[in-house]
């Protein structure tokens, strides 16, 4: 079995984007190199919204990555940077590749949960998750 982890983050102001971009790229490179990582993708869409999709050998590999620097430090800053944040995890057959963005959206809506943010938007509070707008130039793969 493979372990899938997804996040959806909306940066609340343009002024937080430079720090967010640096932290995101460092964390994405970390994920791509982490022991147990099968794949790592980042999707950029409108309104300063970003999705991550990582597939891991198992949950322990994902948790090890999550608690290590630089990702651990980035998680703390998201409290202030983001006004919307959500996460979901599930197990899938190891023979399957990464799920589609449509499946990611479905899983986020059905199985996801809000993450804590200091300045939640109305959409965050209502847990409204619009479908990701996938463009060819909006997705980066790190593994």
CATH number of the domain encompassing residue 39: 3.30.70.100
pLDDT in tens, 80-112: 999 999 999 999 986 668 999 999 999 999 999
Task: Inform me whether the pLDDT recorded for 51 exceeds 70.
Answer: yes
* pLDDT band at residue 33 using 50, 70 and 90 as cut-offs: very high
Range of the domain at 7: 2-141
Instruction: Provide the domain count of the chain.
Output: 1
Q: What is the spatial distance between Cα 16 and Cα 13, in angstroms, rounded to a whole number?
A: 6
Average pLDDT taken over every residue of the chain: 93
pTM: 0.93
Query: Strand, helix or coil at 68?
Result: coil
Q: In what order do the strands lie in the sheet with 2-11?
A: 113-114, 82-92, 2-11, 49-56, 37-45, 139-141
């Amino acid at each position: 079995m493979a372990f899938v982890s997804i996040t959806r983050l909306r940066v609340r102001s343009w002024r937080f984007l430079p720090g967010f971009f640096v932290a995101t790229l460092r964390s994405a490179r970390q994920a791509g190199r982490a022991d147990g990582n099968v794949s790592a993708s980042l999707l950029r869409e409108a309104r300063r919204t970003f999705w991550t999709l990582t597939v891991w050998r198992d949950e322990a590999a994902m948790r090890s990555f999550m608690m290590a620097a630089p990702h651990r430090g980035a998680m703390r800053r998201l409290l202030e940077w983001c006004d919307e944040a959500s996460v979901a995890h599930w197990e899938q057959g190891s023979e399957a590749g990464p799920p589609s963005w449509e499946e990611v959206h479905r899983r986020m809506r059905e199985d996801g949960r809000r993450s804590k943010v200091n300045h939640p938007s109305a959409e965050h509070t209502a847990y409204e998750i619009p479908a990701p707008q996938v463009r060819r130039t909006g997705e980066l793969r790190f593994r």
